[in-house]
Structure formats: structure tokens, C-alpha cells
Homo-oligomer: A and B are copies of this chain.
């Protein structure tokens, strides 16, 4: 059995994340999804709680159909301990998929096998752009899977982001 690890902040979960997970799914038996900076929320860069992000992941992964674990990972702000921190919070995994240089380096120094994925156009999407559109009142729904948009609506996510983005 092969279990893969993939981490993101998912602020919010968008088509770029979805595209990566769709491509990893057929290659492995199970995916462990780390929800990074789990302790942050109600910030312009991090509007959603870890729990809300777990809801988005559950909604989106139903489509993909791969068995998965979604696990909040709080920041330690000690990079040298970060891989151990991830290991302690997650089921054992065999391989890491990441295009983030620091994530790659830290798992590499910890002796893990790390693979990068070729970028698709959808991967160039960023949470920054999704949040910018939400604040600006522009169209953002096409950038996230439909079930994720439904979760964001249910939790009034856009309203929260707009409010905390307004100036004093």
C-alpha cells in the first residue's frame, strides 16, 4: 500500500489544489492532506479556520473518491522540527508530493522520498487571486470546485473576508 502526503493552506481550497490531488489519486492508495497554518483564521491572508478548510476538503474529495486523511498542522515556527511535527500528527506515509522548495528540502533532510508534479495551467491559480476576487466583489466561483463554493456560502465566508479586509 502507498500513502502519499500533500500539504496546502487551502485558503480556500481551489482548482489548483484539486488538480494536484486528482493527479496524485490514481498513483497511490491513500492520501494524507495536511492543512497548514491550521491555527490561523480571520486574517486577510488566512480567512478560514482549520475546521472550515476540513469541510471544503471533504466536499471536494468526494468527487475524487480516493481514501484520504485530512489533518490540521499548526505552525511551529521551527523549520528544523517541522517534518517531525508533521510525522507526529499524521498516519505514516511513503512519499511526499510538493512543488514548494522549503517543504521539499525539509522532507528531503528527513529522509523522505519527495516528488514534484508538472504544473498545469490550473495549478498557477493561487489562493491570493481567489481572495482578491472575493474582496473585490468579482467572480470567484469558477476558481474552486462547486462543492467548495457551497461550503464557502454556507459559512458566509466571503462576507467575513470582506469585513476583515476593510480598513479601520
Q: Interface on A for B, CB 8 Å cutoff?
A: 38-43, 49-52, 54-55, 58, 69-72, 74, 76-81, 83-85, 87-92, 99-102, 104-106, 111, 155, 160, 163-168
- The interface residues of chain B lying within 8 Å CB-to-CB of A99 are 168
Structural contact, A163 and B104, CB atoms closer than 8 A = yes
**Considering the chains assembled together, what is the distance between the CA atoms of A105 and B40 in angstroms?**
15
**Considering the chains assembled together, what is the distance between the CA atoms of A133 and B163 in angstroms?**
32
**Considering the chains assembled together, what is the distance between the CA atoms of A28 and B139 in angstroms?**
36
- The interface residues of chain B lying within 8 Å CB-to-CB of A69 are 54, 58, 70
- The interface residues of chain B lying within 8 Å CB-to-CB of A165 are 101
Structural contact, B90 and A39, CB atoms closer than 8 A = no
Structural contact, B42 and A89, CB atoms closer than 8 A = no
- In chain B, what residue has the closest Cβ to A79? B42
**Considering the chains assembled together, what is the distance between the CA atoms of A106 and B160 in angstroms?**
10
Structural contact, B55 and A101, CB atoms closer than 8 A = no
Closest Cβ of chain B to A163, distance in Å, is 5
The 6 closest A-B pairs by CB, nearest first: A80-B88, A42-B79, A84-B84, A51-B90, A49-B88, A55-B91
Structural contact, B71 and A80, CB atoms closer than 8 A = no
**Considering the chains assembled together, what is the distance between the CA atoms of A81 and B167 in angstroms?**
22
- In chain B, what residue has the closest Cβ to A50? B89
Structural contact, B104 and A50, CB atoms closer than 8 A = no
- In chain B, what residue has the closest Cβ to A155? B92
Point out the residue from B42, B54, B83, B87 that lies within 8 Å of A91, measured CB to CB. B54
